[in-house]
């Protein structure tokens, strides 16, 4: 059973058509996969979808549908470990070694904390993000990585026929 940690950039792709959305949606629809993301992603994704509406990238109806589906999935598809003080502190320490910004560092810290007990059970946690600097940091911390932009070819109409 595959285990994935999805940062907010990937979660948005699950609900709004962007480059890499087809692959991200395939991850979410894989009932054999275990999916994780930080509790903070709930606010981050909601904010990103609202920004897409305010900037005209999506209309009001798709915004409502995306938010409703995302909220449903936060209780049915994703495991959201809380952003504890220890994780936030770990994230702060990670910013001293790597360039990701605050919330990105929280995603990385959360994944690294989750990885430890999984690794003891010989389970691999793959860190998924569309941010190259965050992926580089995750990889340097020992996490396998995946980038939805590497699967952009699946977004092409001929790839889905």
CATH of the domain at 127: 3.40.50.1010
Burial class (CB in 10 A: 0-12, 13-18, 19+), 89: exposed
Quote the distance between the C-alpha of residue 67 and its chain's center: 16
Q: What is the dihedral of CA 133, 38, 51, 134, to 10 degrees?
A: 0
Contact 2/30 with Cβ under 8 angstroms? Answer: yes
Contact 138/127 with Cβ under 8 angstroms? Answer: yes
User: For the segment 35-68, what is each residue's pLDDT rounded down to a tens digit?
Assistant: 999 999 999 999 999 999 999 999 999 999 999 9
0.85 exceeded by the pTM? Answer: yes
As for how many domains the chain has, the answer is 1
In the prediction, which pLDDT does 148 show? Answer: 97
Q: Which residues of 11-158 form beta strands (DSSP E)?
A: 34-36, 78-79, 125-128, 145-146
In the prediction, which pLDDT does 157 show? Answer: 73
Percentage of residues in the chain with pLDDT exceeding 70?
A: 98
CB atoms < 10 A from the CB of 145, how many?
17
Contact 54/76 with Cβ under 8 angstroms? Answer: no
Give 34's strand partners.
3
Q: In what order do the strands lie in the sheet with 3-6?
A: 78-79, 34-36, 3-6, 125-128, 145-146
Q: What domain range includes position 57? A: 3-160
pLDDT beneath 50: ranges in the chain? 159-161
């Amino acid at each position: 059973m595959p285990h994935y940690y999805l940062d907010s950039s990937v979660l948005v792709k699950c609900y709004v058509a962007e480059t890499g959305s087809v692959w991200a949606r395939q991850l979410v629809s894989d009932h054999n996969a275990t999916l994780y993301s930080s509790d903070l992603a709930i606010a981050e994704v909601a904010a990103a979808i609202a920004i897409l509406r305010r900037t005209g990238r999506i209309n009001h109806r798709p915004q409502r549908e995306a938010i409703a589906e995302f909220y449903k999935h936060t209780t049915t598809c994703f495991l959201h470990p809380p952003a504890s003080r220890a994780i936030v502190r770990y994230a702060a320490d990670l910013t001293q070694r790597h360039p990701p910004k605050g919330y990105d560092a929280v995603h990385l810290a959360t994944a690294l904390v989750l990885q430890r007990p999984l690794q003891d059970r010989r389970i691999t946690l793959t860190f998924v993000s569309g941010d190259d600097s965050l992926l580089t940091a995750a990889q340097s911390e020992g996490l396998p990585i995946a980038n939805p932009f590497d699967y952009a070819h699946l977004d092409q109409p001929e790839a889905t026929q």
